[in-house]
Structure 1
Amino acid sequence: MIIEDSVWKKYFDGYTVFDCAIFRQQGFFFILVEEKDSRDVLPKTRLITLATDRLGEAGIRRSQAEDFSFSSVACGVDPTEYVVVDTGSNVYSASGKSNQFERKIEDLISLKTPVGTMVTIRRVVRVAGKLYAVGSNRRLYRREGVEKWVDLHSKGVGAPMPADYMESKLSGSWSRVIGFKDLSAFSETDFYAAGGEGDLWRFDGKTWTQCPLPTNAQLETVCCAGDGKVYVTDLHGNVWAGREEKWAQVATSELSWGSQPVDAFWFKGRMLFGAQEGLYVINGSKQLVPLGDVEDGVPSSMVTGRIDISPDGNHLLTAGPYGACLYDGKTWTRLFSAFDYR
């Protein structure tokens, strides 16, 4: 086992994996959430940096947060760092030089919308070499360093709001109607952001253009893929693909609420979708199906689901509630599983 029994008990036991990120073949980050029977008190969040080429505890750093909720993590490349952001704009960062809890994004820049509501951070992603916090009300915040975030709206390059955005009777529902929830890009001048009720936008570096996606379903993920298409999923796992003005549904699905896609990445020549119940792929019948249905040797949903790709594009890290696996396009390597320690 890559993780010794004593290390597992000290750092992982009693927690489930919520998200993951990868920098290199032997360098990872995991967000762990305390297993609790009651939700009256917020579960603790444990933040783990893991280097598997270092033996025992020498390869692990741990921090713990009492007030993080629904956190996500991404790996930055310039500088190299892992950055965690939660829905309340709490921030934690870890690099080779330091690991620290930073001031909230809302303590550094205003997250208040013109209609008086607060932006909710949905996730943090690496796009075109930069890290972005993706927020409701079509908000994007670019990270420029420790405790430095730039609101694209404040720079005059934010996505436009609906014409009736300022009507008070609608203000409470905008976070459901409009994006964003995910962000992807082909380059610095070709971004796609998705969320809300079919709310998909393209940014060319200067101007945002709304894409005519043929659905009003709640959008979950977006991926600018290696085949030149953009793939978008909704709450039930239906998939649309296209670019700019041309879009078509390429897969149907009936995933239940709570099992919807949470990640979408192009890896080694194909689209992979990560959901709460494992990995999915589009089959020949244009259906979104578990990856294990179309090929052998795929690990179970207990150790797969969340996805991240190493910056060099050579390795895929996936994590489920009870473990994690590494994939190079041919071979699956189980990094750890809770069931190995019982």
Structure 2
Amino acid sequence: MKIFSKETFKANVEGYTIFDCAFNTVDRFCFLLVEEKESRDILPRTRFLVLGLDGPKAPRIGYYDTGEMSFSTIARGFDPEEYVAVDTVSKVYSSDSKRRGEEIPIENLISLKTPVGTMVTIRRVVRVAGKVYAVGSNRRLYRREGIDQWVDLHSEGLGAPMPADYHDPKLSGSWSRVMGFRDLSAFNEKDFYAAGGEGDLWRFDGKAWYQCPLPTNAQLETVCCAGDGKVYVSDLHGNVWAGREDQWAQVARSELSWGSQPVDAFWFKGRMYFGAQEGLYAINDDKELVPLGDLDDGVPSSMVTGRIDISPDGNHLLTAGPYGACLFDGQTWTRLFSAYDFR
């Protein structure tokens, strides 16, 4: 199906780049777009573009604009069913079958101030065991329960513990760099892994948190609980470790420059995929993280690949680059749209 005509592409996408994506079904998606601007004196507009390719009136195209969010990420929750986006200072957008729009920022609902007086930075939102979580600095996780409803796991007595010298005023300014979190993944609702900071990797068993002895102090970026039973963790340069609980080993080396590092990691059809703003990566036989195009034929360019989400049934991978998006079923790549089709 052709999603856009030249006219509808100009009305809905032109002038924006794609920053993130979220999967509902194989026929329904949401893309987070950011306005292209030369000046940053005023925040660029953020656009949430919802596409539906099913039904008698397909394609269905709708969007919501805001100028109040920056560095947002988006996830699709299924309990409740909705798209949710949060930016670094906790501003929230959501969309379900009946409404779409901005909500009360998380910091206006619950305190984001840490015990040492600093503020939590929201690093991303993710879907875990059907729920949406906002992942924050200082080992903070916030569970989404519905419109204007967030729960700080610390308020339930289920938050990750702080270091013994956490209240030392000489160290308070460095904790957001030293400690996580930046990403969250899970095998189920009682087996979470959260990563970030300088090798700061933790496991949650539904009742308590346990620090994992990852053999690195590198800045961690992603974590994925994979279909082979292992947990994969990547750092700022694309190095990858794998293991579970107390057993970890490096499984890939890389020297990606800052800005090219993985920001997404998902297991799909028997392989780990890593997504960055500059395309897709995977691990080769020499234990190196390399562009996916070095391993497979027919991989679309980084202009239409990079950010990743997986369909709830696990049968399709959605990926978006700055100027388009693709679907992959493990065998065939299908380009959904590309800005270059209209230039």
Q: 1:285 matched to which residue of 2?
A: 286
Q: 2:189 matched to which residue of 1?
A: 188
Contact 1:77 1:311 in 2 (8 A): no
Contact 1:86 1:121 in 2 (8 A): yes
Q: 1:235 matched to which residue of 2?
A: 236
Unaligned segments of structure 1, at least 5 residues: none
Contact 1:280 1:289 in 2 (8 A): yes
Under a length normalisation based on structure 1, what TM-score does the superposition of the two structures give? 0.98
Of 227-236 and 69-78, the range deviating more from structure 2:
69-78
Deviation at 1:56, TM superposition (A): 7.9
Matched, 1:90 2:85: no
Q: 2:168 matched to which residue of 1?
A: 167
> Which secondary structure does the structure 2 equivalent of 1:8 belong to?
helix
Deviation at 1:15, TM superposition (A): 0.2
CA distance in structure 2 between the aligned counterparts of 1:118 and 1:227, rounded to whole angstroms: 37
Report Cα offsets for 1:127-150 as digits up to 9, x if no partner.
Answer: 012110000000000011111000
Q: 1:275 matched to which residue of 2?
A: 276
Under a length normalisation based on structure 2, what TM-score does the superposition of the two structures give? 0.98
Q: Report the CA distance shift for 1:330/1:52 in structure 2 as closer, same or farther (over 3 A).
A: same
CA distance in structure 2 between the aligned counterparts of 1:102 and 1:316, rounded to whole angstroms: 29
Unaligned segments of structure 2, at least 5 residues: none
Q: 2:331 matched to which residue of 1?
A: 330
Q: 2:205 matched to which residue of 1?
A: 204
CA distance in structure 1 between the aligned counterparts of 2:81 and 2:150, rounded to whole angstroms: 17
Deviation at 1:314, TM superposition (A): 1.2
> Which secondary structure does the structure 2 equivalent of 1:19 belong to?
strand
CA distance in structure 2 between the aligned counterparts of 1:243 and 1:104, rounded to whole angstroms: 35
1:143-162 aligned at under 5 Å gives the runs: 143-162=144-163
Contact 2:166 2:172 in 1 (8 A): yes
Report Cα offsets for 1:96-145 as digits up to 9, x if no partner.
Answer: 11112110000110000011010000000000121100000000000111
Look up the equivalent residue of 2:301 and give its one-letter code: S
What is the root-mean-square deviation in Å for CA atoms of aligned residues?
Answer: 1.1
Look up the equivalent residue of 2:231 and give its one-letter code: V
Q: 1:318 matched to which residue of 2?
A: 319
Deviation at 1:79, TM superposition (A): 2.1
Contact 2:53 2:59 in 1 (8 A): no
Deviation at 1:54, TM superposition (A): 5.5
Deviation at 1:172, TM superposition (A): 1.1
Contact 2:239 2:289 in 1 (8 A): yes
Identical residues among aligned pairs (%) = 74
Aligned length: 342
Report Cα offsets for 1:65-104 as digits up to 9, x if no partner.
Answer: 1110110000011221111111110111111111121100
> Which secondary structure does the structure 1 equivalent of 2:24 belong to?
strand
Q: 2:266 matched to which residue of 1?
A: 265
Q: 2:60 matched to which residue of 1?
A: 59
CA distance in structure 2 between the aligned counterparts of 1:80 and 1:188, rounded to whole angstroms: 17
Contact 2:262 2:275 in 1 (8 A): yes
CA distance in structure 1 between the aligned counterparts of 2:57 and 2:189, rounded to whole angstroms: 40
Deviation at 1:52, TM superposition (A): 2.1
Contact 1:69 1:87 in 2 (8 A): yes
> Which secondary structure does the structure 2 equivalent of 1:154 belong to?
helix
CA distance in structure 2 between the aligned counterparts of 1:249 and 1:58, rounded to whole angstroms: 45
Contact 1:308 1:318 in 2 (8 A): yes
Look up the equivalent residue of 2:324 and give its one-letter code: G
CA distance in structure 2 between the aligned counterparts of 1:337 and 1:131, rounded to whole angstroms: 29
Matched, 1:111 2:109: no
Matched, 1:79 2:75: no
CA distance in structure 1 between the aligned counterparts of 2:34 and 2:121, rounded to whole angstroms: 20
Contact 2:52 2:58 in 1 (8 A): no
Of 205-214 and 59-68, the range deviating more from structure 2:
59-68
CA distance in structure 1 between the aligned counterparts of 2:291 and 2:165, rounded to whole angstroms: 41
Q: 1:250 matched to which residue of 2?
A: 251
